Amino acid sequence: MNRHEVIIIGGGVTGCSIAYHLAERGMRDVAVLERAYLTSGATGRCGAGFRHQWGTKTNCLLAKYAIARLEHLAEELDYPEGIEIKQEGYLLLAYTPKMEEQFKKNLALQKSLGIDARWVTPREAREIVPFLNTEGLLGATFCPKDGHANPFKVTDAYARAARRLGVKIHTYTEVRDIKIEGSLKTVITNRGTFQAPVVVNAAGGHAAEIGRMVGVDLPIVPERHQILVTEPVEQVLGPMVMSFYHNLYCQQTPHGSFIMGLGDPNEPKEYNVRSSWQFLTQMARKAVWLLPVLKNVRVVRQWAGVYDMSPDRQPVLGEVPGVPGFYVAAGFSGHGFMIAPMTGQLMAEVILGLPTTLPVDMFSLSRFTTGELFVEPSVV
């Protein structure tokens, strides 16, 4: 029997960030249980982009605080090899008058929160990305401080810092069941039993399964998203190019490879991480149309991961009403990587009963029963 103060289920970027932030605030008797290896879930399969360009105050601030942390994460976590951060902006393309109107509203909001983003004409967009096909483009928004980082390194950096502070990380340890007696939770795994008064569900696309183990119905469903990577070539694309109209994003990593993905609105809601040939053709068509220079770049690998989708595409953060000591940090709906530094900090503050750095009430599970949904207009 392994007794701890806190057990975190899930060794993705969220679980590792929560573990670090708890330990950093003095709560060191923490165990992280991960069914496979760290980053084996969405974290290791993601586009790993981060952007300030959101359409609600909460998300703008969450992103702004989190990105400020990512900018110095290697120093904060004493991770000398670095997290391969790149900040050359996100170019968000607008193709319809409705999009243009929404983007301009978002810009006004961002500006009021001190985020440096601006409207660019198609011609200016071509100055930022010289080979962009601007056919049908009405304009775009650009924030130079958006970018991406290596999700394996970010998670490894949190995991190492957490371990140094005393956190125990158990990989290849799958949670099979949870029993609650009084305030004590017994977590049964394929590698023995763990006990703690506090359990945190950071199981990403599997969060609903973990919820069911304690009789809680979490409205979080897995949705497959496919992505591919090319061979590395010389640096030609500074920013991440994102089109909600085509449902696609494309970026070039510091390593030289291009990473690009598509969202498919018709994707069935199920746990599926197989990749498909259809995706490859569709992705290639759209990418070569938008960025013709990519025509001669070779794809070396494609894969898939799941978004942990919630009904309003916003995470559930906090303690579950009616199950004291059982916390959820899941439902990130495709943007959990970029906010992970703040997810970790806010969850640690909530668990330890400290004042929170940013408001978190709007992320509570109860919003789905009271109907106070949180609507973010700008997601892929």
Partner 1 sequence: MEDKTIICRCEDVTLEEIRKAIAEGARTLDEIKRLKRCGMGPCQGRTCRPLIAGEIARMTGQNPAELALPTFRPPVVPLKLGTLARGGVPDEQA
For partner 1, the binding residues in 153-192 under the rule CB under 8 A are 153, 156
Q: Pick from 281, 321, 357, 373: which binds partner 1 (CB under 8 A)? A: 281
For residues 347 and 368, give the distance between their C-alpha atoms in angstroms, rounded to a whole number.
20
User: H/E element holding 296?
Assistant: none
Q: Pick from 1, 181, 182, 298: which binds partner 1 (CB under 8 A)? A: 298
**Are the beta carbons of 151 and 46 closer than 8 angstroms?**
yes
CA distances from 34 to 13, 27, 307 (A): 11, 20, 18
User: What does the per-residue mask of binding to partner 1 show for 27-46, with x meaning CB under 8 A?
Assistant: ---------xxxxx---x--
Task: Determine, following the binding rule CB under 8 A, whether residue 253 of this chain makes contact with partner 1.
Answer: no
For partner 1, the binding residues in 54-113 under the rule CB under 8 A are none
Task: Determine, following the binding rule CB under 6 A, whether residue 185 of this chain makes contact with ligand FAD.
Answer: no
For residues 365 and 346, give the distance between their C-alpha atoms in angstroms, rounded to a whole number.
15
- The distance from CA 272 to its chain's CA centroid, rounded to whole angstroms, is 18
Q: Which does 147 bind (CB under 5 to 8 A by kind): partner 1, ligand FAD, none?
A: none
**Are the beta carbons of 365 and 321 closer than 8 angstroms?**
yes
**Are the beta carbons of 45 and 127 closer than 8 angstroms?**
no
For residues 67 and 65, give the distance between their C-alpha atoms in angstroms, rounded to a whole number.
6
In degrees and rounded to multiples of 5, residue 229 shows phi and psi of -135, 145
Q: Pick from 4, 52, 185, 206: which binds ligand FAD (CB under 6 A)? A: 206
- CB under 8 A: which stretch of 5-13, 123-131, 152-160, 316-324 binds partner 1? 152-160
For ligand FAD, the binding residues in 235-264 under the rule CB under 6 A are 261
Cβ proximity to partner 1: between 303 and 374 the closer is: 303
**β-strand 30-33 against 168-170: which pairing, if any?**
parallel
- CB under 8 A: which stretch of 90-98, 238-246, 299-307, 328-336 binds partner 1? 299-307
User: H/E element holding 197?
Assistant: none
Cβ proximity to partner 1: between 87 and 230 the closer is: 230
For ligand FAD, the binding residues in 30-49 under the rule CB under 6 A are 33-36, 40-43, 45-49
**Are the beta carbons of 184 and 197 closer than 8 angstroms?**
yes
The residues that touch ligand FAD, with contacts defined as CB under 6 A, are 9-15, 33-36, 40-43, 45-49, 174-175, 202-206, 210, 225, 227, 261, 305-307, 330, 332, 334-338
